[in-house]
Amino acid sequence: MPSRVSAGLLLYRIRNGEIEVLLAHPGGPFFEHKDDGHWTLPKGQGKPGEDLLTTALREFQEETGMTIDPQSQFHALGAIQQKGGKIVHAWAAEGDRDSSLPIHSNNFEMEWPPGSGWIQTFPEIDRAQFFPLAEARRKIKETQIPLLDRLVSLLDTRK
């Protein structure tokens, strides 16, 4: 799989008749004070020969610490292209998590502060939470909003 391709999972739940989606906030010093427009669905790059849904499930687990049953019902949401050119393939699945539990994300290393020679470790995702759709539209990266729209259309057709 080319490095400019990622796969992710948009977990959703219905609360009081309203759709809520789980979004992840990127970790590290660049995103520490950024909020609206910076959240994302948990996603990442595949391993050689790995199919995209398997990538989405693995990355979801690595970034949130949550395991999704691979026998769950998954709904393809298609792909979007982010501003940097990366193609993101996404699936939706219904599920829930206890918001009082911390997430367990994998880590990455980078030199911080730049030019210091100090290598520091940061979580790839520093938090994840469910948002009602209206709030999720403000929180999520602008290029990922069509994934929310596709989820709504999908759930509307299932009624």
> Following DSSP, what letter does each residue of 31-82 receive, concatenated?
TTT--TT-BB-SEEEPPTT--HHHHHHHHHHHHHS----TTS--EEEEEEE-
Each residue's pLDDT tens digit, 21-45: 999 999 999 999 999 999 999 999 9
Distance from C-alpha of 140 to C-alpha of 136, rounded to nearest angstrom = 6
Each residue's pLDDT tens digit, 71-104: 999 999 999 999 999 999 999 999 998 777 888 8
What is the pLDDT, as a whole number, of residue 157?
83
* Number of structural domains the chain divides into: 1
Residue 148 structural domain: 5-157
Helix (H, G, I), strand (E, B) or coil at 33: coil
Task: Give the angle 78-41-99 at the CA atoms, nearest 5°.
Answer: 140
